[in-house]
Structures are given as C-alpha cells and as structure tokens.
Structure 1
Amino acid sequence: MTDTPVSEMSFEAAMAELETVLGKLERGDVALDESITLYERGALLKARCEAKLKEAEEKVAAITLDADGNPAGLKHVEGL
C-alpha cells in the first residue's frame, strides 16, 4: 500500500494498488485488523477507479462526429 491519498491517484495507480490489496485479502495471510484496513482502502480505491472511468466515459461521449465520421469538436459537458 502507498501513502498517496486515494483522491490524488490516477486510474492506473488506483487500479494497481487495488489489485495488490485484493491479492493480500485473497491470500488471507494478514491479521484481522490489517484485513479491515485493507478492505477500507480497497473500497476507496474501487470508488476512485469507478469515478475516473465515469469521467473518461463522459469525455468520450462529448466528442461529436461530422457526416464523414470524423471528430468535429467537443460538446460542452458540465463539470469537464
């Protein structure tokens, strides 16, 4: 686990750490207190990944195409 706040992590960093957390929890070789801490961190990491994916989907959806199928510009999406 890193000390980086989850809210500052990129999608890739959050996903990599989430995979590490899941691996530790699946092995079951950590103490109960550490398992709880890992579970809490994992829940935050999962939420961060979901938020970053939603943000990316909104950006992609905002791209408009012209009659030939070429990007014609971006629609304004509130908050982006």
Structure 2
Amino acid sequence: MATDSPDVSQLSYEEARDELVRVVTELEQGAATLEQSLQLWERGEALAKRCEEWLIGAKARLDAARAAASE
C-alpha cells in the first residue's frame, strides 16, 4: 500500500470507490503482512465512510430537488 495515499476527505465518490475496490482485492489476496492488512483495513473503513458521506449528500440533494419541484 502506498504511503503517499491521498487524504480520504479530499476524494471524490468515484476515487474513493475505486480505491476501496483495490483495497478489498488486496486484502482478499491474503499476501499482505498482518501490519499491512491492518493498514489496508483501516484505509478501507475510511474509504467506505467517505463513499457513504457522498451517497448521503447525494440523497439529500435529490430530496431537496424533489421537494422544490413539488412546491
């Protein structure tokens, strides 16, 4: 895993999703050391949270647009 990984809070949804897929794939391969696996797991958790934040934000925007359209 790269030590110069970008700050999760700066990633777009697509960037976070794509990196999360890479992290999961690497974890599934089982070739990482325990320490590397823990770092990957932590990064994956942060990436999943970032994706969830984006999706919650998108839902809020859709809800607001629907409410405005029905007024």
Greater shift, 56-65 or 10-19, is seen at 56-65
- % identical equivalent positions: 36
Structure-2 separation of matches of 1:6 and 1:39: 14
| Superposition RMSD in Å | 1.4
- TM-score norm. by structure 1 comes to 0.78
- Structure 1 residue runs of 4+, over 6 Å off? none
AA matched with 1:61: D
Partner in structure 1 of residue 51 of structure 2: 49
1:26-61: per-residue Cα shift (whole Å, max 9, x none)?
Answer: 111111110000000000000000000000000011
Please point out which of 9, 12, 21 is paired with 2:11. Answer: 9
User: In structure 1, which of residues 57, 65, 72 is the aligned counterpart of residue 69 of structure 2?
Assistant: 65
Q: Normalized against structure 2, the TM-score is what?
A: 0.87
Question: Which structure: greater strand fraction?
Answer: 1
What is the SS of the residue equivalent to 1:65?
A: helix
Q: Pick the structure with greater CA Rg.
A: 1
Alignment size in residue pairs: 67
Amino acid paired to 1:29 = A
Structure with the largest fraction of helix: 2
1:33 aligned to which of 23, 32, 35: 35
List runs of 5+ in structure 2 lacking aligned partners. Answer: none
